[in-house]
Amino acid sequence: MKVAVFSTKPYDRQFLETANASAQDIHQLSFFEARLDVATAPLAAGFPAVCVFVNDNLDAPTLKILADQGTQLIALRCTGFNNVDMQAAKDLGLKIVRVTAYSPYSVAEFALGMLLNLNRKIHRAYNRTREGNFALEGLLGFDLHGRTIGVIGTGKIGLIFANLMTAFGCQVIAYDPYPNPEFTKNPLCSYVPLGELFAKADVISLHCPLSPETRYIINAQAIEQMKPGVILINTSRGALIDTGAVITGLKSKTIGALGLDVYEQEAELFFEDLSNEIIQDDTFKRLLTFHNVLVTGHQAFFTEEALGEIAATTIANITNFATNQPLTNQVS
């Protein structure tokens, strides 16, 4: 099947070509660097399948262009599908498939890395020692042992993150409207209402999907309930956090440190080298001024294992469609 791959980086090409070669080069992959949106959708003319990533914009007008041009399948090479207008896709008869699972360790381990880094100020120490500054003032952290970790969303990633934290001797309290029986098998893990999580947690890590219910789950009202000095980690989706409210929380010191691998307006920024540009997003630039804020550009998934699994599942999803087999990873 002819596949138009959007938002292609060299690593996407490498892993997708390897996965396709393992499947006897069943598909003809055409790689486009452009992000998919209304302006770039014409590139997919004549391609029955389109392959996209997290920041491609699959809104109704873009989907309409794709459908009119003959596209039938959208293969997301990610888990989240918040960037797809699902109603429009359904109305247009477009099938959407995704990668329901790939190394959840990649994201859980990265969230832990952000926490260790922020708590012990390793990002600051790295800069200091390179300039010959070996003073410890400002680098004070706390033992994680004995602390309470709040996890919002206990699916594949949240569960692994919770178990990692218990290995440090932490208590883990979680909120999830759909409890995972695996989570409470660990005696150090328990579910609590969201308000109790906000009030008791020394660290809060977000592992729920972005949906109308979870948009701005971290807002001014939530921050008001939090312990002073709480460390907040978001490796899930940017819009789980009201960035303006979090900046206010950082200024009041209610939020003691913030780790972000995702940002609400990241589509304009992430995955590109903008080091020669003037960044216009003042909110984002304000975040970068805090010494206790660590921002990375949506890299939590970026391990060899995860990229290999994403590529293999994406190729298998397209093959299932091309050969009229059941679409086990269809988003409905």
Binding stretches for ligand NAD (CB under 6 A): 79-80, 104, 107, 152-158, 175-178, 180, 207-210, 213-214, 235-237, 261-262, 298, 300-301
Check: CB of residue 222 under 8 Å from CB of residue 228.
no
Looking at the Cβ atoms of 40 and 103, the one nearer to ligand NAD is 103
- CB of residue 251 to ligand NAD, shortest distance in Å: 26
How many whole angstroms separate alpha carbon 37 and alpha carbon 35?
6
How many whole angstroms separate alpha carbon 131 and alpha carbon 124?
11
Q: Which of 77, 237, 264, 309 is catalytic?
A: 237
Looking at the Cβ atoms of 61 and 297, the one nearer to ligand NAD is 297
- CB of residue 189 to ligand NAD, shortest distance in Å: 13
Q: Which of 266, 268, 277, 305 is catalytic?
A: 266
Q: Is 237 a catalytic residue?
A: yes
Q: Which of 35, 264, 298, 309 is catalytic?
A: 298
Q: Is 286 a catalytic residue?
A: no
Using a CB cutoff of 8 Å and minimum separation of 24, what contacts does 124-130 make? 124/291
Q: Is 145 a catalytic residue?
A: no
Task: Look up residue 210 and give its DSSP letter.
Answer: P
Looking at the Cβ atoms of 67 and 76, the one nearer to ligand NAD is 76
- CB of residue 275 to ligand NAD, shortest distance in Å: 22
Report how far Cα 105 is from the mean position of its chain's Cα atoms. Answer: 13
- CB of residue 209 to ligand NAD, shortest distance in Å: 3
**CA nearest to 287, candidates 235, 240, 242:** 242
Looking at the Cβ atoms of 198 and 301, the one nearer to ligand NAD is 301
Contacts of 54 (CB under 8 A, 6+ apart): 78, 80, 83, 298
**Residue whose CB is nearest to ligand NAD in the complex, by number:** 155
- CB of residue 130 to ligand NAD, shortest distance in Å: 28
Name the E strands within 192-318.
203-206, 230-234, 255-260, 293-295
Looking at the Cβ atoms of 4 and 300, the one nearer to ligand NAD is 300
Task: Give the torsion sign (CA, 182, 186, 190, 194).
Answer: negative
Residue 202 exposed, middle or buried by CB count within 10 Å (0-12, 13-18, 19+): buried
Residue 274, Ramachandran bin (φ over 0: left; ψ between -120 and 50: alpha; else beta): alpha
* Residues involved in catalysis: 237, 266, 298
